[in-house]
């Protein structure tokens, strides 16, 4: 179907120059970028020439896409936010990068992140403490903090993050952009430095939901070289955009997810739920499905997988890690095998239980984070990560998609608030159906962070 769109992308050499000038003007304070890919301007020129000749490769041709710095781009360093990878130059593109290039997208920057994707603050001690463009005294979330901040600051049209526990959804919510944790296995993780491979996903991010849908569609597909990739059976991400919402059944999971909810965040969520009801959806409360146990078992699985991947370096070179990340990752070395087996069984049973809950629902709505955007320099990184991720971990154990959608600004701080909308596995299309319908009648997503010139 044709999706109406009168927005011009930043793409093309003029757009590239605009984004680069913005980066040079303010990134000494935002610190969203680890490496700007100067050679990408030639790709922007080539895309403009294709379009002028009527040979466009599609809706992503010439669009600027910036990547979290754990995703390989051939000839560009991949640091994963770690000091010991400062000179690690990738020899091949990640699968998602190959698909971006095939669609004509221009990869213009590698972005700041929590060290090795462990943490939700992106206060990186090696590459700089990334800050939120809406308020430079606040954090951008993480671990894909640079991805959210780069979009909010105007360095790119689209971005990619990775989400193992919350790492796309949190920065999307805190920076006022759209971010998707896709169905597990639907987008290849080949060429991505892992945090925990059975939990890792690559997540599309954008200011406009329709752009995130197009990006998702371009990246979705089986990768025979990725043992965690699956053949998706879902409808294309853009296939339901424009369809009315009446007839959809929306679950609201208040138990656990709405506990200790900041009242300003709650106010925005209730307004969004009212809008959904006005569209003719049926709203129903969802009974507890075991979300309270998710964090314990997620931590055990991810900790064990992370420690396994980094074991040699943890033992031989503990000084290569920041103290916080070393403590978190090395804890996985001490997980008893019998406890890990219990957690793997919990995950399998939990996914089965969620599938049964979704049998009568199209989506479930919950907060993304239960608090306002935290200040930088507040509690220690681990405490902030726990605070921000408390209600994201249950959806990290789910094998289906969750979309973080901006739904306005906090009534007191004026900072972005997001909503989490979750679907059954391979249900990305219904998430974008709802998100695009909402953005068609609201303008929260069109507001821009105004970082003053230094």
What number of other Cβ atoms are within 10 A of residue 288's Cβ? 12
Classify 138 as helix, strand or coil: strand
**Cα–Cα distances in Å, from 64 out to 12, 57, 195, 202?**
8, 14, 26, 17
Give the separation between CA 90 and CA 107, rounded to whole angstroms: 14
Query: Which residues 6+ apart lie within 8 Å of 420 measured at CB?
Result: 169, 365, 366, 367, 368, 391, 392, 395, 402, 403, 404, 405
For the chain, what is the radius of gyration of the CA atoms? 20
Pairing verdict, β 106-111 and 33-36: antiparallel
CA distance 116 to 164: 11
Q: Is 143 a catalytic residue?
A: yes
- Closest by CA to 419, choosing from 239, 230, 313, 267, is 267
3-state secondary structure of 123: strand
Q: C-alpha angle 170/303/390, rounded to 5°?
A: 35
Residues 47 and 30: their CA atoms lie apart, in Å, by 29
The CA-based dihedral angle spanning residues 140, 389, 248, 177, taken in that order and rounded to the nearest 10 degrees? 10
Cβ neighbours, 10 Å, residue 226 = 18
Distance from C-alpha of 147 to C-alpha of 113, rounded to nearest angstrom = 8
- What is the number of residues in the chain? 454
Distance CA 140, CA 32 (A): 9
Residue tagged active-site, from 40, 143, 183, 232: 143
Please give the DSSP secondary-structure letter assigned to residue 21.
H
* Whether 239 is catalytic: no
Q: Give the span between the Cα atoms of 24 and 29, in whole angstroms.
A: 10
- Which residues make beta-bridge pairs with 138? 375
- Which of 40, 144, 147, 167 is catalytic? The answer is 167
Return d(Cα 165, Cα 118) in angstroms, integer. Answer: 10
Cα-flanking dihedrals φ and ψ of residue 353, to 5°? Answer: -65, -40
Give the span between the Cα atoms of 20 and 25, in whole angstroms. Answer: 9
Is 56 tagged catalytic?
no
Which of 414, 411, 418 lies closest to 370, judged by CA?
418
Tally Cβ neighbours within 10 Å of residue 414.
Answer: 12
Task: Report how far apart, in Å, the C-alpha atoms of 70 and of each of 111, 395, 452 are.
Answer: 9, 22, 29
Structural element, H or E, at residue 252: strand 249-252
Q: Which residues are catalytic?
A: 68, 143, 167
């Amino acid at each position: 179907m044709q999706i109406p769109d009168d927005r011009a992308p930043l793409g093309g050499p003029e757009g590239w120059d605009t984004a680069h000038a913005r980066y040079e003007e303010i990134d000494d304070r935002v610190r969203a970028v680890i490496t700007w890919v100067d050679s990408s301007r030639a790709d922007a020129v080539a895309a403009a020439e294709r379009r002028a000749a009527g040979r466009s490769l599609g809706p992503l041709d010439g669009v600027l896409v910036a990547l979290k710095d754990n995703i390989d781009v051939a000839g560009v360093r991949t640091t994963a936010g770690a000091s010991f990878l400062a000179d690690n130059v990738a020899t091949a593109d990640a699968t998602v990068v190959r698909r971006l290039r095939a669609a004509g997208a221009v990869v213009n920057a590698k972005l700041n992140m929590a060290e090795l994707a462990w943490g939700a603050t992106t206060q990186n001690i090696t590459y700089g403490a990334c800050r939120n463009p809406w308020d430079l005294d606040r954090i951008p979330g993480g671990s894909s903090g640079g991805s959210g901040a780069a979009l909010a600051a105007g360095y790119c049209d689209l971005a990619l993050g990775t989400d193992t526990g919350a790492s796309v959804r949190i920065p999307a919510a805190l920076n006022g952009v759209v971010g998707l944790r896709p169905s597990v296995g639907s987008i290849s993780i080949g060429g991505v430095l892992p945090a925990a491979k059975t939990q890792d996903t690559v997540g599309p991010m954008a200011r406009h939901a329709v752009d995130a849908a197009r990006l998702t569609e371009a990246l979705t597909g089986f990768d025979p070289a990725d043992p965690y990739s699956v053949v998706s059976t879902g409808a294309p991400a853009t296939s339901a955009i424009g369809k009315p919402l009446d007839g959809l059944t929306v679950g609201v999971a208040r138990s656990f997810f709405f506990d200790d909810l900041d009242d300003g965040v709650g106010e925005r969520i209730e307004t969004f739920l009212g809008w959904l009801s006005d569209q003719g959806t049926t709203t129903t409360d969802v009974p507890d499905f075991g979300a309270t146990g998710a964090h314990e078992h997620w931590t055990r699985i991810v900790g064990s997988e992370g420690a396994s991947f980094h074991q040699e370096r943890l033992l031989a070179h503990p000084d290569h890690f920041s103290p916080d990340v070393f403590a978190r990752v090395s804890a996985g070395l001490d997980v008893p095998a019998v406890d890990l087996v219990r957690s793997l069984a919990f995950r399998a049973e939990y996914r089965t239980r969620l599938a049964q809950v979704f049998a009568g629902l199209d989506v479930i709505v919950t907060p993304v984070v239960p608090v306002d955007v935290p200040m930088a320099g507040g509690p220690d990184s681990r405490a902030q990560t726990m605070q921000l991720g408390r209600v994201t971990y249950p959806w990290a154990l789910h094998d289906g998609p969750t979309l973080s959608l901006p739904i306005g600004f906090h009534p007191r701080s004026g900072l972005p608030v997001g909503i989490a909308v979750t679907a059954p596995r391979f249900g990305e299309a219904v998430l974008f159906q709802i998100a695009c319908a909402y953005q068609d009648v609201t303008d929260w997503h069109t507001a821009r962070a105004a970082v003053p010139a230094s």
